[in-house]
Structure 1
Amino acid sequence: MKLAIWQTGGFLGDPAANIAAIEQTARTASAAGATLLLCPECWLGGYNIPELCAELAEPRNGPWATRIADIAKKHNVAIIYGYAERDPDSGAIYNAVQAISPNGNSLVNYRKTHLFGDFERGLYRPGDGFAAPFELAGWRVGLLICYDVEFPETVRSLALAGANLILIPTALTGEYACVPDIIVPARAVENQVFIAYCNHAGAEGDMRFIGKSRLAGPDDSAIVAAGGGEALLIATITRETIAATAAIFPYRSERRPALYAAIAQPERTRRD
């Protein structure tokens, strides 16, 4: 499968401008043969918009979602985008990512389970579970958002649920360069999955994003990787790569789950 990772600065607080931009990007990705187009975290309205977050939040089937579905169908490409989701029943706002199929249907909506710092915890309610992997072009695809991937249990949970490709919109600043450089490749190898990690470019207010979006392979390869600026990465993944590396990195088959029960327990503070 060929996929596209869109590292973009976007238009802060302007969903209409972002929709216009994704129309052109979807056209380009589709012309290149991509099956899916991955956008950054909170791409639709922007990430660093605390004063506008509640105003721009919409339900998963809101008007902007409808426009994105039309674009996906028009260009025959799945679109996976980050946005602020408002629950229509409770009114709660979530940092979410939605996958729209090439025929314009919603495949799955995932709400970020590990919120980062006081900034996110002041804006969003955390999701209460992982979304089951969905089927796309013969692949089992899982979704996480940014900080989620920094917990090894998250990727392992999706891999054990059958995912062989994990898509991760993110909003990462420079002090966390170890995440795309070290953590993301390690998660791909230890779980024998492909990981597409899609960051913002440029700055939003006092936040400067590092870029460094990439597609990490189960064989410790950076299949494609971006610098700090705008980029549309397009690359092909194959299940044969996973099969070829499983014997080299047999972590999945040689697990001993009976030894790991303590991992699921809350950490205890030591008292001397």
Structure 2
Amino acid sequence: MLLAALQMQSRPSDVAANLDRLERGAAEAAAGGARLLVTPELGLVGYGAGPDLPLLAEPADGPLAGRVAAIARRHAIGIVAGFAERHGDALYNSALWVCGESRAVYRKSHLYGLYERRWFRAAPPSTTIVRQDGLSLGLLICYDVEFPENVRRLARAGADAVLVPTALPVGGSGEFIAAHMIAVRAFENQLFVAYVDNCGGGGEFAYAGLSRIAAPDGAILAAPGDRDEALLFARIEPEAYAGSRAENTYLSDLGA
């Protein structure tokens, strides 16, 4: 599978502009041969939307999800998009996967900082894996990937890749996460990790723009040339890393 990652500057509270950017990204990704496009955390509503988040939140089967599904169908591509999900009286920081008539939603389990805890409810850790083009694809969101247990749980459930919409902020810790942790998560679990960041600024936040797609051997398959918007491509081929899995037998040795 050829995977595309859209590092984008989402506009807080401007859903129409963010959908337009998603449409253009999907068209470009599909034209490049990609079968799946992954976009940033809360990219449909803007991570920094703050007080507007409860107003912008929709159920997983609401009109916004329908718009994303329509874009996916128009361009014959799967899409992972971040949104604010309303479920009953709870608000979740969620990621929607759509491919044809298939859909799945993952809710963030580890909320970062007072801002996220103010607006969202943490979901219980879950093993959310979707199937596309013969691959098993796990879903996490941003801070979730920094807990090794989350990625290991997906790996033990058979994930070939973990898709991670994120809103990594500017700063030293963000630099370390992007430069080191993402590759380590891929290597220690012998799978692919697509870590897809916001960029620029929005509301009270500035984003690092440090998207990465890492391979099972720890190699970085794709990264932006700068901190601006970028569309990255990487081929997700688990069979190409059989040698790495044979040499680094973490998962099989875990059960020994």
TM-score scaled by structure 2? 0.96
Confirm or deny: 8 A CA contact 1:5 1:232 kept in the other structure. yes
Larger gyration radius, structure 1 or structure 2: 1
Query: What residue number does 1:105 align with?
Result: 102
The residue that corresponds to 2:130 in the other structure is: 134
Q: Distance in 1 between matches of 2:60 and 2:17?
A: 19
C-alpha RMSD of matched pairs (Å): 1.2
**Gaps spanning 5+ residues in structure 1: where?**
258-272
Match of residue 231 from structure 1: 230
User: What residue identity is the alignment partner of 1:231?
Assistant: A
Query: Could you give the per-residue CA deviations for residues 81-118 of structure 1, whole angstroms, max 9, x where no partner exists?
Result: 0010000xx221000001001x1431x10100001111
Q: Which residues of 2 match residues 1-272 of structure 1 at below 5 A?
A: 1-87=1-87, 90-101=88-99, 103-106=100-103, 108-175=104-171, 176-226=174-224, 227-256=226-255
Structure 2 counterpart of 1:264: none
For structure 2, the 5+ residue unaligned runs are none
- Judged with a 3 Å threshold, the aligned counterparts in structure 2 of structure 1 residues 242 and 162 are, in CA distance, closer, same or farther, namely same
Report the Cα distance in structure 2 between the residues aligned to 1:133 and 1:239, rounded to whole angstroms: 16
Give the conservation status (yes or no) of the 8 Å contact 1:132–1:161. no
Name the SS for the 2:19 alignment partner.
helix
TM-score (norm 1): 0.90
SS in 2 for 1:25: helix
User: Secondary structure at 2:51's aligned position in 1?
Assistant: coil
Aligned equivalents of 1:183 and 1:147: distance in 2? 12
Q: Distance in 2 between matches of 1:238 and 1:42?
A: 28
Equivalent AA in structure 2 for residue 185 of structure 1: A
SS state of the match for residue 126, structure 1?
A: coil
More helix by share: 2
Letter in 1 for 2:228: G
Q: In 2, Cα distance between the equivalents of 1:212 and 1:196?
A: 11
Preserved contact between residue 70 and residue 104 of structure 1 (Cα < 8 Å): no
Runs of 4+ in structure 1 over 6 Å off: none
The structural deviation recorded for 1:256 is 4.8
The answer to whether the 8 A contact 1:109-1:131 is kept is: no
Moved more, 248-257 or 10-19: 248-257
Structure-1 separation of matches of 2:241 and 2:89: 42
CA distance in 1, matches of 2:72, 2:244: 33
- Per-residue deviation at 1:205? 2.7
Decide whether the 8 Å contact of 1:72 with 1:104 is kept in 2: no
Aligned partners of 2:145, 2:52: CA distance in 1, in Å?
Answer: 26
SS at structure 1 position matched to 2:187: helix
- The whole-number CA distance in structure 2 between the counterparts of 1:169 and 1:15 is 17
- 2:14 and 2:220 map into 1 onto residues whose CA distance is 33
Deviations along 1:55-89, one digit per CA (max 9) or x if unpaired, are 100111111111110110111000100010000xx
**How far apart are the structure 1 equivalents of 2:75 and 2:255?**
45
Partners in 2 of 1:210 and 1:158 — Cα distance? 26
How far, CA to CA, are the matches of 2:139 and 2:107 in structure 1?
9
Secondary structure of residue in 2 paired with 1:233: strand
Give the total of aligned pairs: 253
In 1, Cα distance between equivalents of 2:161 and 2:25: 22
Describe the SS at the equivalent of 1:49.
Answer: helix
- 2:47 counterpart SS class: coil
Q: Distance in 2 between matches of 1:162 and 1:196?
A: 16
Q: Which moved more, 1:243-252 or 1:153-162?
A: 243-252
